Structure 1
Amino acid sequence: MWGVIRSWRSCARLLARAGGGHGQVVAGVGEAGVGKSRLLYECTRSHHLHGWLLLASHAVSYGKATAYLPVIDLLKSYFQIVPQDDARRRREQVTGKLLTLDRALEPMLPALLALLEVPVEDPQWQAFDPPQRRRRTLEAIKHLLLRESQVQPLCLVCEDLHWIDTETQALLDSLVESLPTARLLLLVNYRPEYQHGWGSKTYYTQLRLDPLPPASADELLQALLGHDPSLAPLTPLLIARTQGNPFFLEESVHTLVETGVLRGARGAYRLAQPLESLQVPATVLAVLAARIDRLPAEEKRLLQTAAVIGTEVPGRCYRPLPMRPRRPCTAAWHTCKPPSFSTKPICFRSVRTPSSTP
């Protein structure tokens, strides 16, 4: 949290520059659990974004083989396409919004329609070979975003770049080259192993998020646990085991509460079992796996089904699942909601932020 606050202040300054026509790339970089998503969340809540169009998506671990997967989600938000829209409705949405923005973009229409799985009958598009279609698709997306940024400042958010596909990477590389004169802020985050070629750009800023130092980790634990004297030996043990990773710290506390090691309420816990019997899982995955194992059978089944569907599960997908009588599926889902098993603090949508009221 402390690193996020410092980084957020830098992000606010860069956002103001981007809004003035000097586009920026801001990257939150760090290992899993250090607060990269929280940083983007705080940036997108800034009052500096009033009057901006916010478009966002995220990559997923299984998406590297699917071209433009994060971009498709972003475009669906931009064109206000929902899953139940058929091909005719998608065509109407894309055509109407594109031509309203700028009729000069009409040649880009076939590429965008094809990307959004709308049948394209344009003879010229049909005659293109795969490399030509790839180039036209990249140009169409780039020109659409840059043209929109001329109408209103545009904030693009893309999470977890370490999982993006090669086509999305090519689009980002091309878009970054056009940023210096655009009213566009590109907010991204990724883990340290991800590589790109933007580091030498004067308009690229890396915000490094590291695990908490011992003093800050101790402060976080005091906020979570409280100041009961029985907690004194627990705090250094948790800091050492989690190595200051904020998410790992919070999940470890949740585990200790669920297993009865801690009793009380947030900020007012006490140690209810001898420290010698305490077992803290060695990794974040081990913590989450142990917590899932402790779920009742119905909640565990629901969580497994949701994991198959994806990282975002619309209500219509889980409500039809058969559950025990008098135990609605929504009640079971409530058990699996934050802070239980949703590790991301936000689920971005396409948002046109108001220009007058905060």
Structure 2
Amino acid sequence: MAGEGQAVLVVGEAGIGKSRLVQALLDETAEDSHIVLRYQCSPQYTGTPLWPVVQQLSFAAGFAPEDNDEQKRQKTEALLRRGTDNVSEAAPLIAALLGIQIGSTYPPQELSSQQRRTHTQAALIQQLIGLERRHPVLIVIEDVHWIDPTTLELFSQVLDRIANARVLMLLTSRPDNQPNLGGHPHVTRLTLNRLGRGPTEAIVSHLSGSQNLPPAVFKEIAGRTDGVPLFIEELTKAVLEAGMTAPGTVPVSLYASLLARLDRVPGVREVAQVAACIGREFPYSLLAAVSPVPETDLQSALDRLTAAELIFQRGTPPETHYAFKHALVRDAAHESLLKSRRQQLHANIARALEEHFPETRDMEPELLARHYTEAGLAEQAVEYWRQAGEQALARSAMAEAVTHLTEGLVVLQAFDLGKERQRHELRLQLALGQASIAGKGFAAPETGRAYARAHELCLELGNVPELFPVLYGQSVFYFQRGALREAHGIASDLLRAGREQANVAAQMIGHRMIGSTLCQYGRFAESRDAFEAALALYDPERDRGSGLVYAIDSRVMCLSWLSQLYLILGDLEQAVAYSRRVPAHVDELEHPGTAAVALAWGCIFNQLLRDSHNAAAQAQGAITLGTEQGFPLYRAAGSVIHGWAQAKVGRSTEGLAEMKQGLAAYRATGAECGRPTFSACWPISVGKQIVRRKALASWTRL
């Protein structure tokens, strides 16, 4: 209430009582005037960007299964009005996140995937802060050991904003994979430890009530549960329900206890097992579609499971949603199945999702991938993992993309050796290379490994169209790492393959990469000729999308290189002319990678001209776009040149500090190409600072 935002991370092993603690807090504050936002992470969606947020927004907006896009749009706008004044700006972003088609309701937003990601996160944070202006806000995020990277990034940003807000954020996590919250000063970490004998006996006594359990049974329960509250509760209930009050009759484990409880509730074990294959949370509609139990018996079984407090219910049939009391209860039911039956159920669930819930293909390919993986159907699983990876890549969720594509490669091991397996792996490795370039840089080891394996697969498969982007990826990897001989050799292979297959676009890329390596060798005239040859082959229609396949638009890249080459060769007029052609082409393309490299090259060009004003402006553009889009290489280059410009106009201390930071960030990407240019700026700036200090000292002595 005082406007001092706080966060509490509750850490404890499974069954220790984290969820019970959360519920106790919710019960205790139920009468207070505040807003509760609850987010539940899931092991099935660890790689789906913002999945907990999507679920919370859908629930808060009151979506019904029969709602069409227009109804969902109206409900989304009503939800947003509670926290933001600018609904027209936030609504298209949130609607896209929720998979709502808005048609022409709002003006089109010309945003790249990374810009959409950044703006969506900003809209979500603004909505939350807007709610806080009306009432205090309690944010509950459960099971963050299963949080996806994008949601973790979002709530890390929220933490930065709540220091002076009426917000309490409560997170729960198991010790393994607990979130890295960046050492925020207003995060308190609370560890829940196992219970001692006294609290254990108190729980058993409370549950047993008037049924007096013998001391030996008390002791046996305490010994086998080892102070874990969920274990204590479940074993005690198992003993009481079965009347096992003699020593030696207590179930030996939580697993045995849960199975015994399931068996004692008539007609529920099979229903619980099918539900467990769906997940900890499961909708009635999907369960009914895959359960072999008749619908009347199914509802009766669910009622009995609810009465036994093994599952909880939300909503009313047929739109009811259920959740197992605890992930361990779900796991016990799932693991009680024979492997063959478990695989069959997962296959049935995947097919039911495809048939009855076709939107799952586009909205949740990761879910289908997981079910097909559990089913042992490798071909379908690999295809959905690839789709999930490419979808995450399109959303600029690079960590999730790498996770999905890597999962696909793991599943691929189940394939028989042959051409089909090689084709699947090639597509995965190529997408993995693109994700690594975007997220970690051209020179990252992960980039090199993905393209090296993709090249092997191209050679094994023979004449495949993927060869050209693969050769480019390998050449630019070696080039950025300073391995010029390898980069030049692969670029020559690319040019030769393009000529052999009459692929003009590939020839253009080959000339471009050869020009890059020749420049680093100091063969400036030959480098210029190679870039001129590449530029002559550029077709605005055919190659407009070259930035999507080859990371950067070839025309912009050639013009940027040529501006510097003509400057080095002493033709200032031509150099400036080429440089001035770049911005118009960048504006035409609306491709963030190309825009970022153009800004980076532009600031370097102006640094060579000793034009600190324009160098600083373009360097700041590279920093801003590189930060927004997640391009570490161009952000680092911009920092070095911006620091140089600062030092040149007299702000030496700030400038040198920024240059130092930029050089370190550039090295961290693994890139070697360009380091001599950047490093040369350092002694120039340091030398000027020393000269100024000496001059000031001399003037003072006069």
Q: Which residue of 2 aligns with 1:291?
A: 261
Name the counterpart of 1:139. 122
Give the TM-score, by structure 1 length.
0.77
**Cα offset, 1:179, TM superposition:** 0.8
Q: Which residue of 1 aligns with 2:251?
A: 280
Q: Contact 1:29–1:189 at 8 Å: present in 2 too?
A: yes
The CA RMSD measured in Å over matched residues stands at: 2.9
1:115 aligns with 2:97: yes
**Identity rate, percent:** 27
Superposed, which structure 2 residues align to 1:1-358 within 5 Å?
19-47=1-29, 50-99=32-81, 101-121=83-103, 124-125=108-109, 127-198=110-181, 200-225=183-208, 231-261=214-244, 271=245, 273=246, 275-276=247-248, 278-282=249-253, 284-296=254-266, 298-313=267-282, 328-342=297-311, 344=325
**Contact 1:24–1:179 (Cα < 8 Å) also in 2:** yes
Partner SS for 1:206: strand
1:26-65 deviation per Cα after TM superposition (whole angstroms, max 9, x unaligned)? 2222111111111111111224762211121211111102
**Compared CA separation, residues 108 and 161, structure 1 to 2 (3 A):** same
Identify which of structures 1 and 2 has the higher relative contact order when contacts are C-alpha pairs closer than 8 Å and 6+ apart. Answer: 1
Query: Residue type of the partner of 1:89?
Result: Q
Report the residue type matching 1:240 in the other structure: G
Q: Distance in 2 between matches of 1:199 and 1:215?
A: 37
Structure 2 unaligned blocks of 5 or more: 312-323, 327-702
| Amino acid paired to 1:142 | I
Q: Letter of the aligned partner of 2:33 in structure 1? A: G
Distance in 2 of aligned mates of 1:200 and 1:49 = 33
Question: C-alpha distance in 1, partners of 2:12/2:84?
Answer: 39
Give the 3-state SS of the residue equivalent to 1:181 in structure 2: coil
Structure holding more helix per residue: 2
Corresponding residue of 2:636: none
For 1:103, the aligned partner's letter is: D
Identify the range of structure 1 (241-250 vs 20-29) with the bigger mean alpha-carbon deviation. 20-29
CA contact (8 A) 2:138 2:169 kept: yes
Moved more, 74-83 or 236-245: 74-83
**Which is richer in strand?**
1
Name the CA distance, whole Å, in 2 between partners of 1:158 and 1:64.
14
CA separation in 2, counterparts of 1:128 and 1:230?
Answer: 66
The verdict on how the C-alpha distance between 1:71 and 1:229 changes in structure 2, with shifts beyond 3 A counting, is: closer
1:278-304 Cα distance to aligned partner (Å, 9 max, x none): 25233x3343234335554x4223223
Q: Is the 8 A contact 1:22 1:180 kept in 2?
A: yes
Letter in 2 for 1:91: R
Taking the aligned partners of 1:184 and 1:142, their CA distance within structure 2 comes to: 12
Indicate how the Cα distance of structure 1 residues 62 and 319 shifts in structure 2: closer, same or farther if over 3 A, else same: closer
- State how far apart, in whole Å, the 2-side matches of 1:332 and 1:37 are: 25
SS in 2 for 1:185: strand
Instruction: Return the index of the structure with the highest Cα Rg.
Output: 2
In structure 2, the residue matched to 1:264 is: none
SS at match of 1:233: helix
CA-to-aligned-CA distance 1:182-240 (integer Å, 9 cap, x gap): 12221221111233344743422222221111122122222223587761111112111
- Partner of 1:241, secondary structure, is helix
Letter matched to residue 34 of structure 2: W
- Partners of 1:99 and 1:106 within 8 A in 2: no
Q: Deviations over 1:60-113 (max 9, x none)?
A: 111102111111111113322233322111111112342464332432222100
Moved more, 101-110 or 243-252: 101-110
Closer/same/farther in 2, CA of residues 46 and 280 from structure 1, 3 Å limit: same
TM-fit CA distance, 1:23: 1.2
Number of residue-to-residue matches in the alignment: 311
Deviation, structure 1 residue 114: 0.6
CA gap 1:115/1:30 in 2 versus in 1, 3 angstroms: same
Letter in 2 for 1:174: Q
Q: Say if 1:59 and 1:159, in contact at 8 Å, map to a contact too.
A: yes
Tell me the amino acid that sits aligned with residue 292 of structure 1.
Answer: L
How far has the Cα of 1:328 moved from its partner?
4.9
Cα distance in 2 for residues equivalent to 1:168 and 1:90: 23
> For the Cα contact (< 8 Å) 2:46–2:147, is it kept in 1?
yes
CA separation of 1:230/1:291 partners in 2, compared to 1, >3 Å: closer, same or farther?
A: closer
Provide the rounded CA distance (Å) in 2 between the counterparts of 1:225 and 1:143: 49
